[in-house]
Chain A
């Protein structure tokens, strides 16, 4: 089933409106100065974030909006604006909770980090360029890459259902800059059409 078919199927099951502008939707949320922690929750806190740090104001889509999550993207930037490996090199897992249901459960994310070349799928080359001794100042190219995971299945965020992305680790270091999570995929946004 295609992303479009899956979204239509779920929307119809839930009685959600099937009209609306079809588009590619990317949601993102930032956590400032996460520090060293065992747990991060994205799309939970929007207070104090600007439009450059999130494109939502609450942890749910509007009543006429829904989307399919196909790609998860995570990055860490330090307080000097330098891209870092997300959570250092430590083992971390990701869960996505939609409503009361865990729809992605403890998915390890560190293999797609672009440092050891064991990305889940063949398409991701993980071509981060890194000096042998990790001295970023002497590198001439980008030294780190964000984590990006392409899901095998279509995960739907229906209209007006709260969702959350949780990262768990054993005290991973996320630094004093910021970490960002983006969810990308096919979606529908509100379109008044000729209603107004």
Chain B
């Protein structure tokens, strides 16, 4: 029988000795941030970013008794005007993001590719169809750039720092593509969330 998201959270919490996590508010949540420094890391500089214009966290770790079970990782581009754009639409189909997800001192996802043409985990999901002006049928697909986690996902526990390490390559030539301020790479982590709930303790 498959492990549910809640089961996974409680299993990890038990392993980590987090005895009160099961009393907290279960929710759905996502954290996002943009590598505005072009440093190759996302979430590490979230504390300096505009909220919610660039990120929705104040630091790259959750507070006490808060956690996120990562079930979906996605990448996008944020331009200089603050707009969220499709990775392929900006970088072209030859681009590929290769990323690691690091939680604490541990790399939990390793050298994972997200192809601009549409990442492997999002097959058969035409994201957006754009039409050329005046035409009646869609002529452009905007693919997804996501990794849907197999199994129950990976838990980011309370008070443990996390970040995403990434590089952008040209998959044809193998050359590195350097993002710019106008084409900064953003990332979100989405999944089952645990929110701090004092219940009757205060």
Contacts and interface: CB of A to CB of B under 8 A. Distances in A.
Contacts of A141: 131, 136
Contacts of B195: 102-103, 105
A130 B128 contact: yes
B83 interface: yes
B85 A116 contact: yes
A126 interface: yes
A94 B197 CA distance: 18
A106 B56 contact: yes
Interface string A113-126: 11111111110011
Interface string A98-118: 000111111110110111111
A21 interface: no
A151 interface: yes
B71 to A, nearest CB: 7
A133 B134 CA distance: 11
Interface stretch (A44-52, A74-82, A85-93, A179-187): A85-93
A130 B27 contact: no
Query: Which of B27, B57, B71, B128 has its CB near the most chain A CB atoms (within 10 A)?
Result: B128
B113 interface: no
Contacts, number: 148
B26 interface: yes
A129 B84 contact: no
B131 A125 contact: no
B133 A118 contact: no
Contacts of A131: 130-133
B192 to A, nearest CB: 5
Contact of A152 (B76, B132, B140, B192): B192
A111 B128 CA distance: 12
Contact of A117 (B57, B128, B136): B128
A14 interface: no
Contacts of A168: 52
Contacts of A119: 127, 144
Interface string B16-37: 0000000001111110100000
Closest 7 CB pairs of A and B: A117-B127, A170-B53, A89-B83, A151-B28, A117-B142, A93-B52, A106-B56
29 contacts: A88-B83, A101-B25, A103-B195, A105-B193, A106-B52, A106-B56, A108-B188, A111-B76, A114-B128, A115-B84, A116-B85, A116-B86, A116-B127, A118-B127, A120-B72, A122-B148, A126-B127, A126-B128, A128-B128, A129-B130, A129-B138, A131-B133, A138-B133, A139-B131, A140-B136, A152-B28, A152-B192, A153-B28, A170-B53
